[in-house]
Structure 1
């Protein structure tokens, strides 16, 4: 009987605390160890019990395993029923606050990483993409006068190309150094740039502000690409296009060690499902053979609801 299994798995305080954290964030084992302040073997044992009960799910990404609370089925229904009680517990609330602080520190570290590599960003991208022409991929999707938003615009090369095609461009990035380089790039050509600093999970944009959004080789750095896609739907007009360019699923751990990738790419079904959940209709998916044995997927989707 699954109900008894659920209650048994939560009879330990550590597992209850762990489930509470994983209801709000997907975390790998090392992150859970840091958040809980316990040894890895102990954490792994509790994770196995919760996973076997059906209250947690896991996904393997290269050498890393990530855990989160069950998102559907009986396990999700049970978790939802507990939701109010968990929200009102002071100790569990304190755990979440501590985890948010840890995640914020990681976010600052990631911003520092991007600030440091900003001068070399174009070269780093070309190490994987080679001579891939993103602007030609966008083709007729760029209409004169439309607002085109480059989400995670980096040093602004794509943003400038979109401007040259007649779009009113907007660049969003969390790295001040990246935006400084973009601003100088535009200033050299006498162009004013609408550049905004911010997180892609919480875009500094109004509802329906853009007619086209591009997320180019960015999602694999982020903890929750799914959340970013849902947020992008908010800032697009109905019928507007979203173009996502990112790596196909792979197992090259060097991308994680050298470039700080959190995700080792995405499979097509996974990305298409996230798009559908956010209200997009996927029009087409094409592939491009990149460098280092990588494959790049290009998703073109339309906001349909």
Structure 2
């Protein structure tokens, strides 16, 4: 097995691919762009590395993403060998380009949501059908909640329902236009408006202090993020010990139109993927539900507690 591993790494291009994919999960087209090579050539190297077990592939609708294995013998092998591989200027440039591609993904997402903010509530009704997601979120809020946070709050449909259940609420979104519409829901002349804080920020680098929140929800947002587990880890940071997290997202599906109409990056998740992500981020799962919604899609709802 080890001979196969060394043989798979005996090519400069394959070393570059492994070095990149130890840091990021990327699609074939993104890797083609980084390496500046033809797709057939890159795909051939990816096939060799995948057959050797040194890369994993994940099909998401029409897209295929590659990454280094997270655990196991092959991951241990890479951890042992790669420190002896000199990361020259080319490899460093590869990582710089990969980081730029992820930033471009995030920028396109922000631009998309700024553009469709006025229609967002109607689009949500289209996909959720008769299911009352804000009510499901509110049912998960612990009694006597101090600070409740809605991450990816959009126009504030959930945030406004959380306000009577907590001493203070915080809405975070990466879209300035969404936050502008959210602000309109709260009358500045009413006393309750003083308990609302709206903050612009990315979900992998939240504008909150460590342990600032007692309850957090992230609804139909993880499938827009390049690294969902990184966002879950960041949520764990801002939750107080024993704080509650509510996650709602789509189960895996094959509706490619969700990418263009809703800006989705992932076509949902397997339930086991979300459960594993919560565990790796430092949460203990305490509840799970499934609900059919519009467009033939299905939601999974997780409640979890910060360890």
TM class by smaller structure: over 0.9
Closer/same/farther in 2, CA of residues 196 and 141 from structure 1, 3 Å limit? same
**Helix, strand or coil for the counterpart of 2:254?**
coil
**Helix, strand or coil for the counterpart of 2:59?**
strand
Match of 1:147 in 2: 147
Q: CA deviation at 1:295?
A: 0.8
Match of 2:37 in 1: 38
Match of 1:217 in 2: 220
Q: CA deviation at 1:142?
A: 4.5
**Helix, strand or coil for the counterpart of 1:292?**
helix
Pair 1:260-2:263 in alignment: yes
Q: CA deviation at 1:164?
A: 2.8
Pair 1:105-2:104 in alignment: yes
Closer/same/farther in 2, CA of residues 105 and 268 from structure 1, 3 Å limit? closer
TM-score (normalizing by structure 1): 0.94
Is the 1:150–1:172 contact (alpha carbons within 8 Å) kept by the matching residues of 2? Answer: yes
Gaps of 5+ in 1: none
Q: CA deviation at 1:258?
A: 2.3
Gaps of 5+ in 2: none
Pair 1:227-2:226 in alignment: no
Pair 1:207-2:206 in alignment: no
Closer/same/farther in 2, CA of residues 69 and 149 from structure 1, 3 Å limit? same
Is the 2:134–2:157 contact (alpha carbons within 8 Å) kept by the matching residues of 1? Answer: no
**Helix, strand or coil for the counterpart of 1:228?**
helix
Is the 2:148–2:166 contact (alpha carbons within 8 Å) kept by the matching residues of 1? Answer: no
Deviates more, 1:64-73 or 1:97-106: 97-106
The number of equivalent residue pairs is 303
Closer/same/farther in 2, CA of residues 93 and 140 from structure 1, 3 Å limit? closer
**Helix, strand or coil for the counterpart of 1:275?**
helix
In 2, the alpha carbon distance for the partners of 1:283 and 1:166 equals 21
